[in-house]
Amino acid sequence: MFLKSQPTLVLASTSIYRRALLERLGLRFESIAPALDETPRAGEAGLELVARLARAKAGGIAAARPDAWVIGSDQVAVLQVEGMQERILGKPGHIAACIEQLTAASGRTLLFLTAVALVRSRAAASLERIEFIDTTRVKFRALDRAAIERYVAHDAPLDLAGGFKSEALGIALCESIESGDPSALIGLPLIRLAAALRGAGFEIP
């Protein structure tokens, strides 16, 4: 009896959060950092931005690895204020920006948009792609400056969209979280990704 070989899988990311999430599915995979400018384009909406970046991350690696299925993912937080254009909150990068983002989120709801593109490029004219976007709604409680500073000092969420880590102390900043997939907020929607991977030939319970 011969065991069916699994397709090759590559995660187009070196994020420790996405690596840890994908490891939960029990699959062997490689992690490769995509060379990509993630700057939003002028007038680009949050949904457009995450879809474009997830597709570009996966596509760039897939072009060089036609043997593999490649997972590209991107996440932004979107602040919507009535009567105003949406504001995209990416990774703050430094403490001051993180405090400013959480101050803007105080008492409001952020939409965390997580896009995934699963891509295989067998040949230049043959591209297989499965794409989806998860939306998680996070309502923040009213936060004063001292509470925000304590939180940022504790979790140091400078490399996360919206400057917020729900799987750690950040959960204490919330009034509610509405999501169909709790792993999406951490960085990779495993429920829909597992379904997509099964469709691509991977054996996942």
Active site residues: 74
Return the HEC string of 6-71: CCEEEECCCCHHHHHHHHCCCCCCEECCCCCCCCCCCCCCHHHHHHHHHHHHHHHHHHHCCCEEEE
Q: What does DSSP assign to residue 202? A: -
Q: What does DSSP assign to residue 119? A: E
Q: What is the residue whose two structure tokens read 């593999």?
A: 68
Q: How far apart are CA 28 and CA 26, in angstroms?
A: 7
CA distances from 179 to 77, 111, 184, 194 (A): 14, 10, 8, 17
Q: Which tokens in the block code for residue 81?
A: 């204020």
What is the chain's length?
205
Q: What is the residue whose two structure tokens read 């009034």?
A: 175
